Chain A
Amino acid sequence: EIMMTQSPVTLSVSPGERATLSCRASQSVSINLAWYQQKPGQAPRLLMYGASTRATGIPARFSGSGSGTEFTLTISSLQSEDFAVYYCQQYNNWPLTFGGGTKVEIK
């Protein structure tokens, strides 16, 4: 099973600032990596797939990068609606696995 490790666990950021979230895989997943955003009481929402392709309707302030074992999700200028928990997920191997999440909170 591929282990996905996200860091930091919590990220405190002021509105308008840049946020950088990391995700590391225990073995290579190529670019088969997705990012999701989840707000309290809501289902997750797909942000990014293929490590760097934005899903439909996702604003350009979200960007993804990386391949192999190291991945990054960057939010260029945090808006109030971006404060949430973010999960990475690999789909290169079975079983599909998620990272433990990064909570982006208001500083």
Chain B
Amino acid sequence: QVQLAESGGGVVQPGGSLRLSCATSGFTFSNYGMHWVRQAPGKGLEWVAFIRYDGSNKFYADSVQGRFTISRDNSKNTLYLQMNSLRTGDTAVYYCAKTGGILHYFDYWGQGILVTVSS
């Protein structure tokens, strides 16, 4: 069965950096685009970033453009999110999510990982 598992979260000071990983299994990772979606405490869902199946194309939300970088290693079936210049407003649970094919809805989600940006 499809499984997605995030890791790398924690507490970081404003201005700091963190790298999230999403280990996947149960599907052919190299055939699917992948996303990061976040949810601030008690708030709704916010799409963060997308990477095409082969890594050739990436899109970002305006709120993270220039600070976050999405990447993938198809040999390791793993998705990454490098987060730099973190702000308190980046505090959220971060989910990795698999695209439902060529269309950008999310058919499988990880369990989420909490990132807290605080001094």
Chain A interface residues toward B at CB < 8 A: 32, 34, 36, 38, 42-46, 49-50, 55-56, 87, 89, 91, 94-101
Given contacts A49-B100, A94-B59, A95-B62, contact A101 B106 (CB under 8 A): no
A89 CA / B35 CA spacing, docked (Å): 14
The reply to whether B44 and A100 contact each other, CB–CB distance below 8 Å, is yes
Chain B interface residues toward A at CB < 8 A: 35, 44-47, 50, 59, 61-62, 95, 100, 103-112
Most buried by B among A36, A43, A55, A56: A43
A32 CA / B95 CA spacing, docked (Å): 21
A42 CA / B110 CA spacing, docked (Å): 9
Q: Which residue of A lies closest to B110 (CB)?
A: A43
Chain B residues contacting A98 (CB-CB under 8 Å) are: 44-47
A101 CA / B50 CA spacing, docked (Å): 22
Question: 3 smallest A-B Cβ distances: which pairs?
Answer: A34-B105, A91-B104, A43-B109
The reply to whether B47 and A95 contact each other, CB–CB distance below 8 Å, is yes
Q: Which residue of A lies closest to B47 (CB)?
A: A96
Chain B residues contacting A32 (CB-CB under 8 Å) are: 103
Chain A residues contacting B108 (CB-CB under 8 Å) are: 46
Chain A residues contacting B62 (CB-CB under 8 Å) are: 95
Knowing that A43-B109, A89-B47, A96-B104 are A-B contacts, what are 11 other residue pairs whose CB atoms are under 8 Å apart, sorted by A's residue number?
A34-B106, A36-B45, A38-B45, A43-B110, A43-B111, A44-B106, A46-B108, A89-B105, A94-B59, A95-B62, A97-B47
The reply to whether B47 and A43 contact each other, CB–CB distance below 8 Å, is no
Q: Which residue of A lies closest to B105 (CB)?
A: A34
Chain B residues contacting A95 (CB-CB under 8 Å) are: 47, 59, 61-62
Can you offer 18 A-B residue contacts whose CB atoms are under 8 A?
A38-B45, A43-B109, A46-B105, A46-B108, A49-B107, A87-B45, A89-B45, A89-B47, A89-B105, A89-B106, A91-B104, A95-B47, A95-B61, A96-B50, A96-B104, A98-B44, A98-B46, A101-B45
Q: Which residue of B lies closest to A98 (CB)?
A: B45
The reply to whether A91 and B44 contact each other, CB–CB distance below 8 Å, is no
A61 CA / B61 CA spacing, docked (Å): 34
- CB of A105 to closest CB in B, whole Å: 16
